[in-house]
Chain A
Amino acid sequence: MNAEASAWIELKNVTKRYGTQTVLDGASVTVERGQFVAVMGRSGSGKSTLLRLIGGLEAADTGVVRVDDTDLTTLTETERARRRRHGLGFVFQSFNLIPTLTVAENVELPLALNDVAPDEIRRSRGALLAELGLANCAERFPEDISGGEQQRVAIARAVIHEPKLVLADEPTGNLDAETAQHVLELLRRTCRERNATLIVASHSAELAAQANRVLTIRAGRIEDLRS
């Protein structure tokens, strides 16, 4: 089986411009299901843009972005939102928890959006919070917990609905080295246990060392550093 035949994510000749600046210029890449992929590159090289295109947060100007046999460029915004609701988890550098929801409510948000039964939500949430060591801060608000805890909550929110794809944009950028290592391990483990594809944009060489595959973006094109 060749790479294209088993591709779960496929970008073909994708171009993305912001004003006069071309961030991706005919970029192509394929990713298989269950891989842990690190995307490296200089600031402004297009790492975050690549993640947003794969996540369907933005549309490519030209080219094809296919995930799980669906061409995202043909979907409406509402259809993309529904896909994200079911099949995507996203972890941000600055956590981006909803300040008006408690830790527990932040975590259960994707399940609630997917109309999961309240009992099931309670069970899943309880188990995951315990697994990630967040049980004791379930009823607290994001502003009342530490940065490391906030990122763990973000990871829990990204995986609770068992998405097939987790995208993380500099997930350890705001954390100290020890906490960063702990968070990364947690992210890898939770994704592996759920057989989720994990794509992480980062500058971190340590993170790249743990990935199955390392991509880099140069002059708008995606290159395989290690596969």
Chain B
Amino acid sequence: MTGLLRRASLRFYLRHPWQLGLAIAGISLGVGVYVGVSLANDSAARAFDVTAAEVRGPLTHRLLPLDDALDERSYAELVLRDGTMTAAPVVETEVGIGPRRSRRVPLLGVDPIRGATAFRMAQVAPTRGADLARLVVEPDTVLLPEDLARELGLNVGGSTTLRIGEREATVRVIGFVARSGADVAAEPPIVADIATAQELTGKLGRIDRIDLELTDEQARELGSAPPNGAVLVAAENEDSAFRELTTAFRTNLTALGLLALVVGMFLIYGTMAFAILQRTQTLGILRTLGVSRREILATILWETLGLAAIATTLGLVLGHLLAIGLVGLVLQTIGDLSFNAAVGAVEPSPWIYAQGAALGFVATLIAALKPALDAARITPAAALRRAVLERRAHAAARRAAYLALPILAASGLILAFGPSELYAAFAALFGVLAAGALLTPLATVALMGALDRVLVRRAGIPVTLAVRGVSASLSRTGVATAALAVAVATVNGVGLMIASFRASLDDWLGTTLTADIYLSAVEDDRGLADLVASGILLELPGVEGLMVTRARVVPTAQGDVAIRAVRPGVRGYGLTLVGGDNAAAFDALADGTGVIASERLLFSSRLNVGAELEVPTPSGPRGLRIVGTFRDFNTGVPAIVMSLDAYRRDWRDDQLTGVGVDLEKDADEAAVEAAVRPLVGASARLRSSARIKELSLAVFDRTFKVTEVLRVLAGIVAFLGILSALLAIELERARELSVLRTLGFTPAGLGATLLTQTGLLGLAAGLAAMPIGTVLALLLVHVINRRSFGWTMDFVLTPQALVSGVSLAVIAALLAGIYPAWRASRIELGAALRED
């Protein structure tokens, strides 16, 4: 018996190939999108981990100066304290080389006496034949990167001039060097003996850091008692901020992938439900013949598993292909955010394919369970009339709407009182989407009822037929409309979030970039400080004022914190305060009694306005009182802004890393730029604020390109859902449509009526998507992004975004309706009207 039933199932699908195709397409797309996104994410994460580890090399920790540089005696002290410790002192700076010394290359001073360890730690390798003894013994000798030597036409024994700050020095090439790690993106350095490097950079007796390879115990001991004026930092901590950022970014992508799977489930449900509905009479006959409920259920589930197996396999292949496209986008985004990843290929992880396969099977079984149970419940008395089925569908729509209310309430409670983790926010977000989907069928019925009341006797029979057709086929249209509404709501929600984000970023850039021209130091020297102190900049025609900044990163108990010490120009600090008392905060900032922290810092450290942030300074630990919070869309280390004078007092550091030039109202920006450029030479990078803004927005747009791809995919799944439902309706209503043709509807007239019905279905989905999408956007803007990135932004509700969502739904539905309408208009009247 089972074999016969299975054969009947198989033949059913072979006779309805489009239905088979749609079911397979729905599952495949859902699985494919999920697997594609997961693989891309995983590859990006691996790329990050592999590259970060390779860039770090054997390095586990770094001893960094609290001041400008470390006393070189710190190194001797370390070696004396623990002779087994692997440590390498380093002096590092950037120098100019080549014609006009315009080519910027890092100069690395290492201790060749330490032998291979020094080079291994620095991730460089001298080429064969390089005489390292000469590097130590002979002054002003260097190893040059091979490519650079070739570019400059330099051989062993040749000389070249380096520009270090304002000074120039001639060095002799005694060999070549290459990068030994996998960080191919990093520029190989010029390598010198540490004493030579100290001499060239004017850092006699001082070093920039000590690279360390420590055991856990050594790290604990050194961490608790570092040499004076130094702090121990774990190498992997240096990328923790980036790790958090990419994790959050990837969580967003995963959520979108899951969303595609949910929309795919709608499609599976719709297709399976219809496949069973179509066989209601056959199943009724089988029950009459004595087939048990269990056998019917087993047959349907067997058929579901068969579909799931084929579709999931295709989905895995599709996912792999999708990942190849997505990985580039994700890596580009991550690269834009702050990191040059060295791995660019999809790294297949068997676990993700297994996850995708499990999801495909589970999603298909869940989606098919209700239709299968319905099939098993069919009475031997047999075929249910369509009217009865539709009455049941209307009752189900009411029950679904009642169910939506507690789901909405639970989502609200999770947001208000639940854990503040990201997963809770996503749970609430999915709750809102589910509630929206559950409310959509009843809302569609209500909308069609209202339209019917308005249009009755006015719009003519074809329109009345179209309006009533939507409600009358609720068993089909309900699920399809809900799927389309969810897809469009996602498009709306993500679109509104991106628009809000972009508007906030634009606004923030406008507020932050108060100056017209920015100079940023490329070398850690006094170049910019001396330029500002000379007063030349202020004397240039058109220059109204200067904003000067010193930035440095310090380790704290809350993780690394970027200090931005600022003396504002004529247009203030360029900060948008989102916490604290505006006037009091700026007063405290100006007189050095308080600092203003970025909202990301407060979010990640869980500190509040009024709290003290303890930071290490050369004169000992110091508590900085947080008097306010500012909006900061920077993706690097969380920051605080403090007064430059207060910073200089505590750090005894009068260098500058940035200068903002404020121009007079009618000043010629190009002329000022031309005047400033020769003054700063190669020691600082010059950019206009307009260019910085343009670059930032370009990075933003690239970052969200990947979400657009996923939105399109979700749209395709929803489109297929509508197509499936419409084909089902066309098949179910073949007789009714034939009667209309018999009464004189022309093929075109009938097609137009069906397209009107489809358009109305799209309209209902689009209107339902408006509130769902808006709530989704609110959650993304105010909850998800806050919990992911620690950023807040202003919510921008543009009517265009909502209207375009409705247009999208109507257009998608109309496109999906073309083929079923065409088929219906060409219906074979004789066959359709033949009496049973």
Contacts and interface: CB of A to CB of B under 8 A. Distances in A.
B744 A100 contact: no
Nearest to B740: A98
A98 B739 contact: yes
B526 interface: no
B743 A157 contact: yes
Interface string A109-153: 110111000100000000000000000000000010000000000
Interface in B821-836: 829-830, 833-836
B204 interface: no
A184 B624 CA distance: 100
Contact of B739 (A78, A82, A92, A108): A92
B465 A101 contact: yes
Given A110-B744, A112-B460, A112-B461, A92 B472 contact: no
Contact of A101 (B461, B744, B746, B833): B461
A81 B834 contact: no
A32 interface: no
A143 B390 CA distance: 12
Contacts of B386: 99
B457 A118 contact: yes
B829 A58 contact: yes
B516 to A, nearest CB: 67
A82 B472 contact: no
B743 A109 contact: yes
A108 B741 CA distance: 15
Nearest to A52: B830
Interface string A66-91: 00000000000110011011101010
Q: Chain A interface residue count: which class?
A: 35 or more
Interface string B723-745: 00000000000011001111111
Nearest to B465: A100
B461 A109 contact: yes
Contacts of B1: none
B127 to A, nearest CB: 83
A55 interface: yes
A226 B685 CA distance: 108
Contacts of A52: 829-830, 833
A57 interface: yes
Nearest to A89: B743
Interface string B450-484: 00000001001100110011011000000000000
Contact of A113 (B385, B739, B743): B743
Given A99-B472, A100-B472, A170 B743 contact: no
B747 interface: yes
B744 A86 contact: yes
Interface in A36-77: 48-49, 52, 55, 57-58, 77
Given A58-B830, A99-B387, A113 B835 contact: no
Identify the interface centre among A78, A86, A88, A109: most chain B CB within 10 Å of its CB.
A109
B692 interface: no
B253 to A, nearest CB: 44
Given A49-B830, A100-B469, A105 B464 contact: yes
A79 to B, nearest CB: 9
A10 interface: no
B748 interface: yes
Nearest to A170: B835
Nearest to A92: B833
Contacts of A143: 385, 387
A101 B468 contact: yes
A100 B457 CA distance: 14
A55 B748 contact: no
Given A96-B735, A170-B835, A90 B743 contact: yes
Contacts of A81: 741, 744-747, 749
Contacts of B739: 92, 96-98
Contacts of B830: 49, 52, 57-58
Interface string B390-420: 0000000000000000000000000000000
A100 B456 CA distance: 12
A35 interface: no
A101 B835 contact: no
A98 B736 contact: yes
A162 interface: no
Given A77-B747, A81-B746, A100-B468, A92 B741 contact: no
B742 A169 contact: no
Contact of B742 (A55, A82, A99, A108): A55
B124 to A, nearest CB: 79
A109 B743 CA distance: 8
Nearest to A115: B460
A44 B224 CA distance: 99
B671 to A, nearest CB: 74
A179 interface: no
B747 A57 contact: no
A30 interface: no
A170 B834 CA distance: 11
Given A52-B830, A81-B744, A113 B461 contact: yes
B467 to A, nearest CB: 9
Given A94-B835, A169-B835, A113 B745 contact: yes
A93 interface: yes
B511 to A, nearest CB: 58
A77 B742 CA distance: 11
Nearest to A93: B835
Contacts of B461: 101, 105, 108-109, 112-113
Nearest to B832: A57
Contacts of A86: 744
B736 A48 contact: no
Contact of B833 (A96, A114, A173): A96
Given A57-B830, A98-B736, A100-B472, 7 more contacts: A81-B749, A82-B744, A94-B835, A98-B739, A99-B472, A100-B465, A105-B461
19 contacts: A52-B829, A52-B830, A57-B741, A77-B746, A85-B743, A92-B833, A92-B835, A96-B736, A96-B833, A98-B465, A100-B465, A101-B465, A105-B461, A109-B743, A110-B744, A112-B461, A113-B744, A157-B743, A169-B835
